Amino acid sequence: MMVIRPVAQQDLPGLMALAKNAGIGLTSLPVDEENLARRIRRSELSMASELERADQGYVFVLEDTACGVVAGICAIEAAVGLKAPRYNYRVGTIVHASQELGVYSRHDTLFLSNDHTGCSALCTLFLRPDYRIQRNGSLLSKSRFLFMAQFPQLFGKQVMAELRGVSDDAGRSPFWEALGRHFFSIDFTQADYLTGVGQKSFVAELMPKHPVYIDFLPPAAQAVIGKSHENTQPAEALLVSEGFRYEGYVDIFDAGPTLQSYLTEIRAVRQSQLGSVKLAEPPANEEGQTYLISNTSRSGFRAILAELALPQESLQLTSAQG
């Protein structure tokens, strides 16, 4: 059975294996054992209410209970940018006009922004390729919404998700090559890694503070602004189906899109219901539908997908599911 649960210290080898499998672009899952161990500890302290909200981060793993394999990871940052600035670009417009000359022109621009300060952030979504079957991806992503529905006081009114932008198999980003490289003088993969392990001060020190005119960028860079990596598009489609939308914010490194929604408007949060459960074997040959189910515990949080008959007074779960 596939179960979502909070990460624990014994999951470190599994997380390292996931990080190596994820490759370039997933900044919050670096191949760095010390960093991942700290992140596990921070999640445990967050679950125990031992950190301030600005420091809280919740990490969950998808475990195949039949063999103990850590098949996937997902996470929520409670509030971004409260202690270290959170940067992205906002796609905007500048107008140049002269009534005397009869000239009027509009230019799309990139403005350096901290607009998502205090928002909660969905992050670190990765599922092993051999487990991308039987709605495991949906379970991995949507389980976070049931946790947020159960504990809304832990999170901001607005929720964001930064999606991986376009890059090739060698990790080269056309947007980075056109813009970031001129200010950082390092490879995209190195900048990506540094932000993933928490070394973010160089972003504020080196990024241009003035608007960037998109028209001045090469066509290849312009074409990927607000576009997600092909491997990320299924996750993007799932978020859109839950009510997330693109509002013109993109990543400063690869120009991947940022999607956002109010917490109360996320479909799984809005439609979630609190009910009772009865342990019983399902009646033979009774048709049902798939439900995303979680308990109401914080540190003992569990979530599963289960095919059940339409609920009456209570949901009927097997002893294994319960």
Rounded-to-integer distance, Cα 151 and Cα 154, Å:
6
- CA–chain centroid gap for 201, Å, is 22
Q: Which of 255, 262, 245 is nearest to 88 (CA)?
A: 255
Amino acid at 119: C
Assigned token pair, 264: 């109360």
Helices 33-47 & 12-22, crossing angle to 10 degrees?
Answer: 120
Rounded-to-integer distance, Cα 196 and Cα 30, Å:
6
Q: Mapping DSSP to helix (H, G, I), strand (E, B) and coil, where does residue 85 land?
A: coil
Rounded-to-integer distance, Cα 126 and Cα 22, Å:
7
Q: Give ∠ CA 302-306-312 in degrees, rounded to 5.
A: 105
Instruction: Assess whether 96 carries a catalytic annotation.
Output: no
Identify whether the C-beta of residue 57 lies closer than 8 Å to the C-beta of residue 79.
no
Q: Which of 191, 173, 234, 224 is nearest to 87 (CA)?
A: 191
Rounded-to-integer distance, Cα 236 and Cα 301, Å:
25
The residue from 116, 182, 210, 229 that is catalytic is: 229
Task: Give the CA distances from residue 164 to residues 65, 215, 227, 235, 256, in Å, rounded to whole numbers and listed in that order.
Answer: 30, 23, 9, 10, 5
Active site residues per annotation: 229
